[in-house]
Structure 1
Amino acid sequence: MTSATAGHPRPVRVEVSGLSKTFGTVKAVSDLGFTVEPGSVTGFLGPNGAGKTTTLRMVLGLIAPDAGRATFDGVPYAALREPVRTVGAVLETAFHPARSGRDHLRVYCRAAGLPVTRADEVLDRVGLTAAGRRRAGGYSLGMRQRLALATALLGDPPVLVLDEPANGLDPEGILWLRGFLRHLAHDEGRTILVSSHLLSEVEQTADRVVIVGAGRLVRQGSIAELREGATGGSVLARSPDADRLAAVLVEAGIAATRSEDGLVTSTGTTPADVGARAFAAGIELHELRAEATGLEDLYFRLTAGQEQFAAGTTAPGATAPGATAATAEGALR
């Protein structure tokens, strides 16, 4: 067994094809398919109850699908010769509270046939060396998340499957996790699939996203690709003759409003169209651009109406009380 720092693992592609799973009358996952490429971080997103955890459990062979398959370079998890050296997973944090973090990892090393020296190596990788001899029961939630990540790294796997790894991390810990995952993917070529509800963090961490709703694929691709396919974005144009520009656009049937600083905001159009109409009318432009669409906006547009829990009287954009990942998806495990 080589150290994680001695070399990079071989690239492994994860492919999910036609996965379906029903629990009683609940169709948790339906004909779901997507890919996770080596050397990239792929965010796995969806509303509560969308089937994300069920999908991850099927990918890892913990739940048998009714149809379809998930493979690692064409091999299902159950058929991998050395699964711990191929896939590292964090779905839940489990440990003996009286056992030190270091001993927790050493137990896993022995169970997996790995040298116990790996315990110290992965503790160092996740920044827990100083706390390694402390009882895990005294760890903060963020430290437990790091310990779970260290456990997943024991076999130096080329694939990591992580379910909400940022839960419990403070801002410094989230920043560390972002850089760590991107290093594992971009510098070491690992394949990383990570589910999260922290959309702003996924936007800064992930290279690609897979969005699911009601157990089905909604969209997959890079955030740039999702932006290109999005509708309803705005075009911003600044002009010393903003009133006339707005009038020209409205006459053409384009919704346009102007602000006091000479900015005209239009919807249902493109920068090229606005520029062409301004040129034809002889209107000078000082700025013309499409308004950047963030992942959060894209996510809510794509998953509108697919939430398992209605928000009721909760303010728009807020999370309904009790609609947590644990309660929503726990019912589908």
Structure 2
Amino acid sequence: MVDPVRVDVQGLTKTFGQVRAVDDLSFTVEPGQVTGFLGPNGAGKTTTLRMALGLITPDRGGTAFNGVPYTALPEPMRQVGAVLETAFHPARSGRDHLRVYARAAGLPVGRADEVLDQVGLGPAGRRRAGGYSLGMRQRLGLATALLGDPAVLVLDEPANGLDPEGIQWLRGFLRHLSHDQGRTVLVSSHLLSEVEQTVDRVVIVGAGRLVRQGSMAELRAGAGSGDVLVRSPQAAVLAELLRSAGATAVTTDGVPDGLTVSGLTTAEIGARAFTGGVELHELRAHASGLEEVYFRLTAGSEQYAAGPAGKDAA
């Protein structure tokens, strides 16, 4: 276990020319958890991460790691490991790449072999990094972030280029680092289905501002549709029965005998069906997935919004 480190982002603001890239953004990242950092292209995610790591100076606000800004940390690589982009000399082996970083940070060069094994690159460590696949380069970047055995990991799109097996490995690895070892993990990603299976908490930004933060359960509850899904062989009869009680009941696309009902709870629908003698095969509240919640919360904050797809979308 590592000593827990909490990351506090407070009032970060950054303007480039006439563009407000980040606007009074505040959120927290807790130790022992994986936090997903989500938002459309142009939402300010990368700018936020760069400000947090001292690569860009904010106009206002700041980021603290247990109360200390990154630029004031005595040994930053031992406290915060980051992968914002993977850069390496193509003629240098992955092992030598890591040894250069280790020497520069005052770390034992033996850490290079240790982290190569951690990320599954041990057998390829002596190969030239220029011949690595995109997924292998991502693992090399992660190995670089782990050199100092940091309590905090900040990763920008770490699953980019990984094959399904690699993505599954990354999911388990990040949860091991956070849940089993107590590290603080902040992951920016566009792979919503993968984020949903990996993270404990989510921070969503749009147009440089905080849209929502919280656990996955809190996110779903806060953005829930309130709909109830019902299946019945007497769907038409049930729909009329529920409409007469003031509810909205429409056919559920792709679900035989299915209705999507709003305006009544599951208990109220069940009671109405019972008194009306209607047989039910399924009755449950609609559970929103992360993708549905994400698009609902970020609607209108996209930098680029495409028109409808299809033959009539000329």
Superposition TM-score, scaled by structure 2 size: 0.93
Q: Tell whether 2:102 aligns with 1:109.
A: yes
Whether the 8 Å contact between 2:224 and 2:287 is mirrored in structure 1 is no
Shift of 1:110: 0.4
Whether the 8 Å contact between 1:19 and 1:32 is mirrored in structure 2 is yes
Residue of structure 2 equivalent to 1:322: none
Change (3 A) 1:279 1:28: same
Question: What percentage of aligned pairs have identical amino acids?
Answer: 75
Shift of 1:153: 0.1
For 1:77, which of 70, 73, 85 is the aligned residue? 70
Residue of structure 2 equivalent to 1:300: 295
In 2: Cα distance, 1:33 partner to 1:272 partner: 39
RMSD between superposed Cα atoms in Å: 1.9
Shift of 1:11: 1.0
**Deviation larger for 244-253 or 161-170:** 244-253
Whether the 8 Å contact between 1:43 and 1:208 is mirrored in structure 2 is yes
Whether the 8 Å contact between 1:52 and 1:195 is mirrored in structure 2 is yes
Residue of structure 2 equivalent to 1:202: 195
Q: Which amino acid aligns with 1:265?
A: T
Change (3 A) 1:273 1:75: farther
Q: Tell whether 2:186 aligns with 1:193.
A: yes
In 2: Cα distance, 1:166 partner to 1:315 partner: 30
Shift of 1:273: 3.7
Whether the 8 Å contact between 1:13 and 1:72 is mirrored in structure 2 is yes
Superposition TM-score, scaled by structure 1 size: 0.88
Residue of structure 1 equivalent to 2:86: 93
In 2: Cα distance, 1:266 partner to 1:19 partner: 42
In 1: Cα distance, 2:224 partner to 2:200 partner: 21
Q: Which amino acid aligns with 2:170?
A: L
Shift of 1:248: 1.9
Shift of 1:114: 0.5
Q: Which amino acid aligns with 2:289?
A: G
Shift of 1:280: 5.3
Q: Tell whether 2:308 aligns with 1:310.
A: no
In 2: Cα distance, 1:12 partner to 1:276 partner: 50
Q: Which runs of 5+ in 1 are unaligned?
A: 1-7, 317-333
- Give the secondary-structure state (helix, strand or coil) at the position aligned to 1:75: coil
- After superposition, residues 219-238 of structure 1 pair within 5 angstroms as 219-238=212-231
Change (3 A) 1:184 1:276: same
Structure 1 residues 233-261: Cα deviation after superposition (integer angstroms, max 9, x where no partner): 53112345433321121123322135785
- Give the secondary-structure state (helix, strand or coil) at the position aligned to 2:259: strand
For 1:11, which of 4, 22, 33 is the aligned residue? 4
In 1: Cα distance, 2:184 partner to 2:122 partner: 25
- After superposition, residues 109-148 of structure 1 pair within 5 angstroms as 109-148=102-141
Q: Which amino acid aligns with 1:148?
A: G
Change (3 A) 1:269 1:99: farther
In 2: Cα distance, 1:243 partner to 1:193 partner: 48
In 1: Cα distance, 2:24 partner to 2:98 partner: 37
Q: Which amino acid aligns with 2:173?
A: F
Change (3 A) 1:313 1:239: closer
Q: Which amino acid aligns with 2:36?
A: G
In 2: Cα distance, 1:268 partner to 1:39 partner: 39
Residue of structure 2 equivalent to 1:330: none
Change (3 A) 1:315 1:70: farther
- After superposition, residues 45-60 of structure 1 pair within 5 angstroms as 45-60=38-53
Change (3 A) 1:268 1:155: farther
Shift of 1:306: 0.6
Structure 1 residues 180-204: Cα deviation after superposition (integer angstroms, max 9, x where no partner): 1111111111100000000000001
**Deviation larger for 244-253 or 144-153:** 244-253
In 2: Cα distance, 1:230 partner to 1:100 partner: 48
Shift of 1:158: 0.7
Q: Which amino acid aligns with 1:292?
A: A
In 2: Cα distance, 1:56 partner to 1:276 partner: 51
Residue of structure 1 equivalent to 2:270: 275
In 1: Cα distance, 2:189 partner to 2:226 partner: 25
